[in-house]
Structures are given as C-alpha cells and as structure tokens.
Amino acid sequence: MIYIATFYSHFGAIRFKKKCIADGLSASVMPVPRSLSSSCGTCVTFTVSDEYYLDENINEEIEQIVCVEENKYRQIYQASDS
C-alpha cells in the first residue's frame, strides 16, 4: 500500500525518508499534493506491503499520514496539536 506523510518542516521529511529506506521501505520525497494540503512543503511517499504499523513514538515532525486509495486519501494519523 502507498502512504504519504506530511511534515512540519523539510528537515523532518528528509529524516523520515532516510528512516524508511533504512527500514527497507521504498520511499521518496516530493512536494505535498495540493489536494492533501494548502501547505507547499515536502512530503514523503512510501510503500508498505501491509497496513502501515503506526509507531507510538512517531516522529514529532510528522503532521499527518494518509493511505493513498483510488481517487482519495484515507487519513490514518493526524498530529494532535496541528
């Protein structure tokens, strides 16, 4: 399944991408899709074979994570104070 994570900063996105790759996931950075946010920052799209396991100690730089489904995004995580 394909996921997209958005971040509060470019730094957070690059760091998350590095972690994904270290974990053996396919990941790349790209501009945040307009339909996902009015922010013009950097997001990470990554592929996981099964449902994404959400680490409770999730990177504090992550603003939200969505699962890419046909013609829509399904939100699976939203930072509590964003």
Partner 1 sequence: MNLKNEKTAIILAGLLIGVISALLVVFGNPANMGFCIACFIRDTAGALGLHQAAAVQYIRPEIIGLVIGSCVIALVKKEFIPRGGSSPMTRFALGFFVMIGCLMFLGCPYRMVLRIAGGDMNAVIGLIGFIAGILVGVFFLNRGFTLKRTYSLPKIESAIFPTAQIVLLILLITAPAFIFFTAVDGGPGAKHAAILISLGAGLIVGILAQRTRLCMVGGIRDVILFREWKLFFGFAAILVAAFITNLITGHFSLGFIDQPIAITDGLWNFLGMLTVGFGCVLLGGCPLRQLILAGEGNTDSAITILGLFAGAAIAHNFAMASSSKGPTFNGKIGVIIGIIVILIIAVTNTKKEKLA
Point out which residues bind partner 1 (CB under 8 A): 8-12, 14-15, 18, 29-31, 33-35, 38-42, 60-61, 81-82
50 vs 60 by CB, closer to partner 1: 60
**Contacts from 61-65 at CB under 8 Å and sequence distance 24+?**
61/7, 61/8, 61/9, 61/11, 61/12, 61/13, 61/15, 61/16, 62/5, 62/6, 62/7, 62/8, 62/12, 62/16, 63/6, 63/7, 63/8, 63/37, 64/5, 64/6, 65/3, 65/4, 65/5, 65/6
30 vs 58 by CB, closer to partner 1: 30
In the complex, minimum distance from the CB of residue 37 to partner 1, in angstroms, rounded to a whole number:
8
In the complex, minimum distance from the CB of residue 29 to partner 1, in angstroms, rounded to a whole number:
7
22 vs 50 by CB, closer to partner 1: 22
In the complex, minimum distance from the CB of residue 25 to partner 1, in angstroms, rounded to a whole number:
17
